[in-house]
Homo-oligomer: A and B are copies of this chain.
Amino acid sequence: MTPDSPPLKASTLATKLSHYLELAEKERQRLAEFESRAERIASGVDILQENQPYRYAGVLIEGWCLKYKLLVDGRRQVINYVLPGSFIALEANVFDTADHSIGTLTPCTISWFDPHEVTKTFADLPRLAAAIVWDNAREDALLMERLTSLGRRSAYERLAHILVEISHLQARRGLPLEKNTVLPLSQAVIADTLGLSLVHVNRTIRQLREDGLIEATTQRGIVLRDPHGLIKVCGYDETYLHQHLMPAKTREIFPGGG
Contacts and interface: CB of A to CB of B under 8 A. Distances in A.
B244 A96 contact: yes
Q: Which of A99, A136, A141 has the largest number of chain B CB atoms within 10 A?
A: A99
A120 B250 CA distance: 9
A239 interface: yes
Nearest to A78: B151
A99 B146 CA distance: 13
Interface in A113-144: 116, 119-120, 122-123, 126, 129-130, 133-134, 136-137, 139-141, 143-144
- Interface of chain A: mostly helix, strand, loop or mixed: helix
Contacts of A120: 253
Nearest to A97: B239
Contacts of A76: 152
B122 A130 contact: yes
Interface residues of A, number: 60
Nearest to A135: B94
Interface stretch (A31-39, A40-48, A67-75, A208-216): A67-75
Contacts of A254: 119, 123
A51 B133 contact: no
Contacts of A141: 95, 99
A151 B96 CA distance: 26
Contact of A147 (B77, B119, B152, B247): B77
Contacts of A193: 151
A91 interface: yes
A183 B12 CA distance: 47
A235 interface: yes
A16 interface: no
A137 B253 contact: no
A253 B71 contact: no
A116 B244 CA distance: 18
Closest 7 CB pairs of A and B: A151-B195, A150-B150, A77-B148, A99-B240, A94-B134, A77-B151, A75-B152
